[in-house]
Chains A and B, each alone.
Chain A
Amino acid sequence: MVLLSLPKITFDDDHQTWHLSGNWSIRTISDIDWPDTQKLSHTVRLDCKKIQKMDSAGAYALIEWQKQLKTEGVEVELLGLCPEKTALYTLIANKLPKQNPEKTASERSLHSSLWNIGHEAYLKYLQFIGILTLIGDLLLTIYRNLGQTRRFHIDYILSNICQTGIMALPILGMLSFLIGIVLAYQMGLQLETYGANIFIAYLSGMAIFREFGPLITAIIVAGRTSSAFTAQIGSMKLNEEIDALETMGLSPTEFLVAPKVIGLILIFPLLIFWSDLFGVMGSMFMSKTMLHIGYHDFLMRLKESVGLKQMMLGLYKAPTFAVLIALVGCFQGFQVGNSADSVGHQTTKSVVQALFLIIITDAVYSIIYSALDL
């Protein structure tokens, strides 16, 4: 391989000539030592005979330098370019845009903050309309397909149940167990000082059944599933697969949204139950080791003071959470634009929105329960 030398510009005083040499290419033109042109006479000759190699970037650099000299009032004469390089030089000189297009400053910065607030509100409104449309479409699809079991795609529903439910069992069980331990430990510290050890069953049971079980489940499912739904539908949209479904006369809602929503509604109560189970196991374990309450006593106490009713209050949250997570995930998937970037963007958004809505909904449930004295 020929070692490429750096481009060089040397001045020959006698002939008022700049000798250009070396390799004028895209990798080297940033290293050019542009000479001081202050003390130049009116005409100057550029001798290019010794330029070894010149690519379009090199030609560009040469042209730009000539332009600069011209603005300083120096006449330039170009010498010694071989025919090939002359051809390239002329092509570049002709093709080089005379002036760069004006920068289209990002439109948003031109507007006042008031405009921005309005714009954001409008976008949120559009999003609201969008999710409403999706809900309507989903209900319509289900209504239309009532009585046609084939249209409910049992296999898709089952695979969704497996993906979103069964696969989540280990992580859900472990986290719930740990939360149970932490809960019992924190409450046990307080109870111990009052000698009210046995209340641990009541307190941790209430907390786990009513709040922690449903919430932990919802958080894990939102993180795992809502993002997966968005990424799947988003990539399908990017790949024009959604359009393909539409043109076949098949409804994307029927194939992609309905099985996910139905699957999640079916599996969610079971997931909460699973989380309850492991949460109680965790606090039971901690009660035994820290407060010396036997498993039997703990469970008897749990049954008497908490009972099935509190567990059911937690389980009632399941359908709402399930629908929320599935809808947000699917909706954000359909919102994906036409770049790989927007898949990531919408996936983040779907998880954040799902979590946000879950916590709001949970608060609404608390209000309803307290209004009903449950």
Chain B
Amino acid sequence: MPENIIEISNLDNRFGKQWVHHQLNLDIKKGEILAIIGGSGSGKTTLIRSVLMLQEPTAGTIKVFGQNIRHISHNAAQRIRSRWGMLFQHSALFSALNVRENIMFPMQELTDLNLKQMEDLANLKIALVGLPLHAGDMYPAELSGGMQRRAAAARSIAMDPELLFLDEPTTGLDPISARQFDELIVLLRNSLNLSIVIISHDVNSLERCTDRVAFIGEGKVLAVEPIMQLKKNNHPLIKDYFSKI
């Protein structure tokens, strides 16, 4: 049985008087593609932000790579940060840098590679995500939405992370780009041996690329199972979710 790369237990998140998560438990296995779904405002993004150490949870433990990230030294936290990548919903590419510089940015700051190596690696990442090479010289604002998403994906794998978070990667893409993006996700997992966590609403995309899907509702994980099984789940919230699509 593969080891767990993320273990979330008894997680509580509260904003003011409103509970977002209450006693939430979720394990993510190494090497799997797991999607998190749920209605709007069910706390999917809050969950990811808690795991990414962008937001301190109210209570509970989160273990990433076997370390409890709630009680961890600054250096250990930085080491963990170097082992994951995040693809933000709105790409979050640095607008002042072109695509290649965007990809090279973390390398410049975090490694001792020379310029040629960084450029080669950046070009490699550009090719890996299926962008044409000359896209490296373009600025984010000059790219279409789909290309921006690919460029952002290239940046998120710049440091060869072991764990990749994707926040609604296919939202706003046309069906063809979305399918290609899903293929890219599977390719990355298979070739670079990644574990991937996706937040998504796109059921077609979930069917194409996920191993398991976690459904969040009522502040808990209501079910974690392959998408085909989840669709037949009898929990009223889950039934309601899929009946409307």
Contact = CB atoms under 8 A, between A and B. Distances in A.
Interface stretch (A54-62, A113-121, A259-267): A54-62
Contacts of A29: 113, 117
A1 B76 CA distance: 11
A84 B190 CA distance: 9
B121 A25 contact: no
B66 interface: yes
Contacts of B125: 56
Interface stretch (B136-144, B196-204, B216-224): B136-144
Interface string B22-55: 0000000000000000000000000000000000
Contact of B124 (A1, A56, A339, A340): A56
A91 interface: yes
A26 B66 contact: no
B123 A30 contact: no
Contacts, number: 82
A101 interface: yes
A94 to B, nearest CB: 9
B110 A27 contact: yes
A95 B128 contact: yes
B192 interface: yes
Chain B interface size, as a band, is 20 to 34
A87 interface: yes
Nearest to B113: A30
B133 A101 contact: yes
B225 interface: no
Contact of B66 (A1, A57, A95): A1
B95 interface: yes
B55 to A, nearest CB: 23
Nearest to A345: B96
A359 interface: no
Interface residues of A, number: 29
B105 interface: no
Contacts of B82: 27
B211 interface: no
Contacts of B137: 101, 104
Contacts of A104: 137
Interface of A is mostly: helix
Contacts of B141: 337-339
A1 B65 contact: yes
B6 interface: no
Contact of B111 (A30, A60, A87): A30
A249 interface: no
Interface string B75-101: 000000010000000000001100000
B117 A55 contact: no
- Which of A26, A56, A92, A104 is the most central at the interface, judged by chain B CB atoms within 10 Å of its CB? A26
Contacts of B95: 338-341
Contact of A27 (B67, B111, B120): B111
A340 B96 CA distance: 7
A64 interface: yes
B136 to A, nearest CB: 7
Contact of B120 (A30, A31, A60, A91): A60
B183 interface: no
Contacts of B190: 87
21 contacts: A1-B65, A1-B67, A26-B111, A26-B113, A29-B117, A30-B117, A56-B125, A56-B157, A56-B192, A57-B121, A60-B121, A84-B193, A95-B124, A96-B123, A96-B124, A97-B127, A100-B120, A101-B133, A101-B137, A339-B141, A341-B96
Interface of A: 1, 25-27, 29-31, 55-57, 60-61, 64, 84, 87-88, 91-92, 95-97, 100-101, 104, 337-341
Given A56-B121, A56-B157, A101-B133, 8 more contacts: A1-B67, A25-B160, A26-B160, A31-B112, A56-B128, A88-B192, A95-B127, A97-B127
